[in-house]
Chain A
Amino acid sequence: QSVLTQPPSVSGTPGQRVTISCSGGSSNIGFQTVSWFRQVPGTAPQLLIFNTRQRPSGVPARFSASKPGTSASLAISGLQSEDEAIYFCGAWDGALGGYVFGTGTKVTVL
């Protein structure tokens, strides 16, 4: 029932760059800032990106994000084994009057 759509999985080898897309609409991504969250299974999600492209302190610069139109994108450069996790996008939805999340993308390091 997630409002935002993400690919189920992406994979890459160590050192590669991978990107994750997040597709929404005019009432959420198209109008609001986007956040990205990282979740290791069995633990709570953690904030990775806020205000569409800002990183909280402690998040490495190899995580970057952008928002072309009603889609958002997260890029992980220099992929590392510890990047294996599930990544979610999120945004406020003005039409629903609540926060909405993406379907989640599992990143696998080959």
Chain B
Amino acid sequence: QIQLQQSGPGLVKPSQTLSLTCAISGDSVSNNNVDWGWIRQSPSRGLEWLGRTYYTSEWYYDYAVSVESRITINPDTSKNQFSLQLTSVTPDDTAVYYCVRGSRRGAWYTIDFWGQGALVTVSS
């Protein structure tokens, strides 16, 4: 059974960097058929996909246009986990953050596993 366990601080000051980690069990961060990403949810933005990383002979990264200048998603093969860093945060980045697994088979793609979610508040 796939499990995603998130960790990281729940409070970040404005202009600082938000950092979260997602530990994977039951799968490998290097699995060629899936990707690993982050989604956030807030009342103002709803569910917002932030980005993903995946491995097919090398590592690839896709980021949402809304955050692409501030976001980094890094895989860590030694610990079988991946991380999110979002720089220069503002109160508008306050949200529940989820790590997720995306799966693809031929023409279809879906997000099939979600972490438990973590509320991150941006406030001084």
Report which A residues bind B (CB closer than 8 A): 1-2, 32-33, 35, 37, 43-47, 50-52, 56, 88, 90, 92, 96-101, 103-104
* Residue pair A47, B108 in contact (C-beta under 8 Å): no
User: Which residue of chain B has its CB nearest to the CB of A2?
Assistant: B46
* Residue pair B111, A1 in contact (C-beta under 8 Å): no
Pick the interface stretch among B15-23, B81-89, B114-122: B114-122
Size class of the contact patch on chain B: 20 to 34
Report which B residues bind A (CB closer than 8 A): 37, 39, 44-49, 51, 62-65, 98, 102, 105, 107-117
Complex formed: what's the CA distance from A96 to B65 in Å?
8
* Residue pair A35, B111 in contact (C-beta under 8 Å): yes
* Residue pair A100, B49 in contact (C-beta under 8 Å): yes
* Residue pair A32, B46 in contact (C-beta under 8 Å): no
